[in-house]
A = this chain, B = another copy of it.
């Protein structure tokens, strides 16, 4: 191996802009300078752990995250049409097809023609699919509840408000939140 790009080590220690090379930046972007990076990085690390909980379970079944998402929404809203599911997931039907095919073939989900419109293939979980969906959500809820352990009902409001605002750009998301009552009405 030749490592040509290293044979003449950039002389940046003496000259920050050697001829023909771009300037090297040595100062870090500070956590709270022009931009505040704290929430960016918290979201990155938090979401990775969040999905990791489910990923390790999915591996046992030979599934990936895409399977999880399909399974989740079919369980949350049985009778969903393909079009509705695509609208929620924001992927193409070609992307969905492979994943859905596997879930159907392995008997986690089944399709039933719509009553009114028989072109539709409405999606329902099987008992097997329901069980897996619950297993996956249980793992994620465990982490969430642990993270919220010391959170009061009062403190839950700003958290929910923040996440809802982050999430509510698309109509499909807003519709889902309203239909499924994803909000923090203080419950007592």
Residues of A within 8 A of B (CB): 5-6, 9-10, 12-13, 21-29, 31-32, 34-50, 69, 72, 75-79, 90, 104, 107, 110-113, 121, 124-130, 133-134, 137-138, 140-141, 143-144, 146-151, 155-170, 173, 176-177, 180-184, 187
Contact = CB atoms under 8 A, between A and B. Distances in A.
A162 to B, nearest CB: 5
B24 A141 contact: no
Nearest to A141: B35
Cβ-closest 5 pairs across A and B: A45-B167, A147-B165, A155-B158, A46-B166, A22-B126
A121 B143 CA distance: 37
Contact of A166 (B35, B50, B130, B141): B50
A181 B31 contact: yes
Nearest to A187: B32
Nearest to A126: B22
A75 B45 CA distance: 17
